[in-house]
DNA sequence: ATAAAATCGGGGCGCTCGTTCCGCTTAGGA
DNA sequence: TCCTAAGCGGAACGAGCGCCCCGATTTTAT
């Protein structure tokens, strides 16, 4: 591992930064399916330039998702430090709002053709640890029911992002948040056992 | 509109039925993105045969989604007739389970590149009416909070399907259902006002 | 200023997929 | 049985996209 990180030429560094920024915005708007040519066009460079800095489209996408995850972890930790009981709720609703603005991130989470844990094991691990922590904090503070774990929270994030994306309208979304919040609160009476569990079959074709 | 529905030749009718059945299963497994060639192969016919019966891939997909919607409406009405207070819950959890088995339907609902209301206005209308009815029934029975409308229910369906798809494991899903159910119940104490509303911004790239 | 090295851009290759076309096959009435 | 038109399959076309290549251009050390 004799690192010889020859310093990037000035124009190359500029282009690389520009591509990253533009890819960031473009993946957010259009999702992971957007053609590289489109990103190149918006960045004012050729497709070849994109590929010199990032060997594949996938690697560019990963770089951006990793950065996003880091931001979210940092932001959430700050929120939870300020108010441990509310940290988890702040996180959940922030994630939902990301669903409205960042299609790429939503796809990375929902895992349609993108395995987060396999592609970015470190970032995924840190993210999961953060969720585990703020969930435990909230449960200790008594604001969240104790029978949930980090995997349940991740599931809720996927659901919230899907809902938020479905409803471009953020006003209407305010009607659904309270439902989720009420559901996450510590129940003060024994739960009615869940009926049916949805395993009854529909007739087929 | 001089209908002259010349009766299909026997082999043609057989092929048409086979294509429909196979397409049904294939869209469910692979989603709307599956190539027509794959459906043709599974049905044991040529691609040309598929296109003779359905002018475009889109029209084939629509035919199947319309059928699915009809089944669901029928099934749900029966459930609600048997137990008005539980009808909505049966519907919601059934929809979630569909998320696990029918990718095509999930995509049709979530509306990624498929506008249900525009493509199948009649089926969509009947579906929405059904939801409105069973929601009203449940609210009258006192099992669901009164401050929700059919659009909110549709949003929840999208979220539940995304979650169910994310979690291939149905056991774990049993942990999330109770949360949703608790959230939908009539609150017995005034709601804490939703904090923050998630509009704080994350730093960008 | 000058030349070597790094970088650029965009045309092109290979592949996938929706849709069409057409020569061959087969159902089914006379 | 025979004829005709409905039906069939799969080769082929065109569009979109990831990725590569190479002659032209720009940076930077001397």
Q: What is the pLDDT of residues B107-121, one digit of tens each?
A: 999 988 899 999 999
Binned at pLDDT 50, 70 and 90, residue A203 comes out as low
The whole-number average pLDDT for the span A56-60 is 98
A window 26-65, beta carbon within 8 A of B: none
Q: Token pair for residue B122?
A: 């009649």
Q: Which ranges constitute the DSSP H helices of B31-168? A: 36-43, 47-53, 57-82, 84-101, 103-110, 116-119, 121-141, 150-166
Q: Name the residue with tokens 């493509």.
A: B119
Task: Compute φ and ψ for B164, nearest 5 degrees.
Answer: -65, -35
Q: What is the pLDDT of residues B51-71, one digit of tens each?
A: 999 999 999 999 999 999 999
> What pTM value is reported for the model?
0.91
DSSP letters for B3-43:
---PPPPHHHHHHHHHHHHHHHHHHHHH-TTS-HHHHHHHH
B window 89-148, beta carbon within 8 A of A: 89-90, 93-94, 96-98, 110-111, 145, 147-148
pLDDT for residue A202 is more than 70: no
Strand D interface, protein residues by Cβ within 7 Å: A 9-11, 33-37, 47-48, 51, 55-58; B 6, 8-9, 11-12, 15, 44-49, 51-53
Chain B residue at shortest CA distance from A145 = B179
Cα B69–chain centre separation? 7
The whole-number average pLDDT for the span A81-89 is 98
Closest CA to B32 of B59, B51, B72: B59
Of B155, B199, B205, the CB nearest to A67: B205
Chain B residue at shortest CA distance from A172 = B152
Q: Name, in order, each residue with C-beta under 8 angstroms of A203's C-beta and a sequence gap of 6 or more.
A: B71, B75
Domains of chain B: 10-55 (1.10.10.60), 65-184 (1.10.357.10)
Q: What is the pLDDT of residues A7-21, one digit of tens each?
A: 889 999 999 999 999
Q: What is the mean pLDDT of chain A?
A: 91
Q: Name, in order, each residue with C-beta under 8 angstroms of B32's C-beta and a sequence gap of 6 or more.
A: B61, B103, B104, B107, B108, B113, B114
Q: Which of A30, A155, A160 to mutate to test the interface with B (most CBs of B within 10 A)?
A: A155
Radius of gyration of chain A (CA): 21
The Cα B90–Cα A186 span in angstroms is 24
CB-based contact A110 B179, cutoff 8 Å: no
Q: Token pair for residue A159?
A: 């659901």
Q: Is A40 within 8 Å of A46 (Cβ atoms)? A: yes
Binned at pLDDT 50, 70 and 90, residue A5 comes out as low
The whole-number average pLDDT for the span B178-184 is 97
């Amino acid at each position: 591992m004799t690192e010889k990180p020859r310093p990037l030429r000035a124009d190359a560094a500029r282009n690389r930064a520009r591509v990253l920024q533009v890819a960031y915005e473009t993946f957010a708007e259009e999702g992971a399916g957007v053609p590289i040519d489109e990103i190149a066009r918006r960045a004012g460079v050729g497709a070849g330039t994109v590929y010199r800095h990032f060997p594949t489209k996938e690697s560019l996408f990963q770089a951006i998702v990793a950065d996003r995850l880091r931001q979210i972890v940092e932001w959430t930790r700050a929120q939870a430090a300020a108010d441990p009981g509310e940290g988890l709720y702040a996180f959940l609703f922030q994630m939902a709002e990301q669903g409205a603005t960042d299609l790429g991130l939503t796809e990375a989470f929902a895992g349609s053709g993108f395995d987060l844990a396999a592609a970015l094991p470190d970032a995924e691990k840190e993210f999961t640890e953060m969720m585990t922590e703020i969930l435990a904090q909230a449960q200790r503070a008594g604001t969240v029911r104790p029978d949930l774990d980090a995997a349940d929270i991740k599931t809720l994030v996927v659901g919230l992002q899907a809902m938020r994306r479905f409803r471009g309208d953020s006003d209407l979304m305010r009607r659904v948040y309270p439902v989720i919040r009420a559901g996450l609160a510590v129940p003060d009476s024994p739960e009615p056992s869940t009926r049916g569990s949805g395993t009854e079959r529909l007739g087929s074709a």
